[in-house]
């Protein structure tokens, strides 16, 4: 059997870090990562495209990664991207939108401990990522600690534990056991259209976590300073205050001004549902857009991407009632307006 041809794109992160006078700093090259990996049954090429802590990974770097994947995807059976953990879930989400109908598996991974340290998790994570890139159906994935997750569903939930990421709204695509890669029964739908690079983004957006006493007038300040869209992490199923500090009314006014406002939940698990309580229904009547069971990472990147495609409020509303890359679970009643 011919060995799968895979590509490693390195971007820095803890996995490639070494101790410096200013703390851990990405310095290891991709060739060194592969050397420490040991024998693997794949033909692996390497390209070092960035050398950054993922806290410094921003939309410009997302666009670079998307362009690299798009250009190289016809030459390889799969692509692995090594990445810092802090913003990896944002990157895996936005790449899912920018590279819809991707026709090979693209797998992001990293580590909690640098690869050159004795107790590193980097080698296991890299091996898992290459195995996923060689065997999984085409999609954007995040592979970490023996779990393969859909990129648009992954969230970083721990800062130091090796089990740093979870697929919090749906099960992982697969787990690794002594039997190998064991699929959980849910797989991405195979692409039926050609892959297209759609990397235009609107970066003037905001993600706001609601708290008791939040002054909704601050949203006007954001918009007056160029903010084009807002995701609000509301309470529970999507509740927002309308007594004394009337956030609901401000949301309605902003939507009438052409600023889409997305409502998601602060709760990590399960969905938002603006139809359940008065505090959510009133926001829905004002035009607030439900994110359903999307992660906050997917919601903000989907908003950036949708605005980047030139969509207005109505277009963004329709976009958030569509499942593009497995990022949301919709039922027939989800798109019904009150």
Residues serving a catalytic function are: 14, 85-86, 156, 277
φ and ψ at residue 323, rounded to 5 degrees: -100, 105
Helix, strand and coil percent figures for the chain, each rounded to 5: 30, 25, 45
Contact 42, 3 (CB under 8 A): yes
The DSSP bridge partners found for residue 262 are 231, 289
Structure-token pair, residue 78: 């799969």
- Give the sign of the dihedral formed by CA 146, CA 139, CA 130, CA 158: negative
CB 334 within 8 A of CB 321: yes
Tokens of 336: 């019904």
CA angle 42, 326, 144 (to 5 degrees): 45
CB-based contacts of 27, cutoff 8 Å, min separation 6: 16, 17, 18, 20, 51
């Amino acid at each position: 059997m011919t060995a799968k041809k895979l590509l490693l794109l390195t971007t820095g992160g803890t996995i490639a870090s070494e101790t410096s006078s200013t703390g851990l700093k990405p310095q290891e090259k991709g060739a060194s990562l592969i050397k420490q990996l040991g024998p693997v049954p794949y033909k692996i090429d390497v390209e070092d495209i960035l050398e950054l802590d993922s806290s410094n990974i921003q939309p410009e770097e997302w666009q670079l990664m998307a362009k690299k994947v798009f250009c190289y995807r016809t030459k390889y059976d799969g692509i692995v991207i090594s990445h810092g953990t802090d913003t990896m879930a944002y990157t895996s989400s936005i790449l899912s939108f920018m590279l819809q109908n991707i026709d090979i598996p693209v797998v992001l991974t990293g580590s909690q401990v640098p690869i050159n340290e004795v107790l590193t998790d980097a080698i296991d994570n890299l091996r898992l990522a290459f195995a996923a890139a060689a065997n999984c159906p085409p999609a954007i994935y995040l592979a970490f600690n023996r779990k393969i997750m859909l990129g648009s569903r992954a969230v970083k939930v721990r800062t130091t534990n090796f089990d740093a990421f979870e697929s919090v709204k749906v099960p992982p695509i697969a787990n690794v056991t002594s039997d190998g890669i064991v699929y959980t029964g849910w797989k991405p739908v195979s692409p039926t259209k050609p892959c297209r690079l759609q990397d235009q983004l609107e970066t003037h957006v905001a993600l706001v976590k609601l708290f008791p006493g939040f002054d909704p007038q601050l949203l006007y300040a954001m918009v007056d300073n160029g903010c084009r869209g807002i995701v609000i992490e509301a309470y529970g199923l999507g509740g927002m205050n309308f007594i004394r500090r009337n956030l609901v009314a401000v949301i309605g006014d902003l939507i009438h001004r052409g600023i889409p406002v997305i409502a998601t939940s602060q709760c990590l698990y399960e969905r938002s549902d603006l139809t359940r309580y008065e505090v959510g229904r009133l926001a829905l009547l004002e035009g607030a857009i439900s994110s359903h069971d999307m992660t906050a990472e997917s919601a903000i990147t989907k908003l950036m991407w949708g605005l980047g495609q030139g969509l207005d409020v109505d277009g963004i509303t329709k976009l958030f009632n569509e499942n593009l890359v497995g990022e949301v679970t919709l039922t027939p009643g989800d798109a019904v307006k009150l």
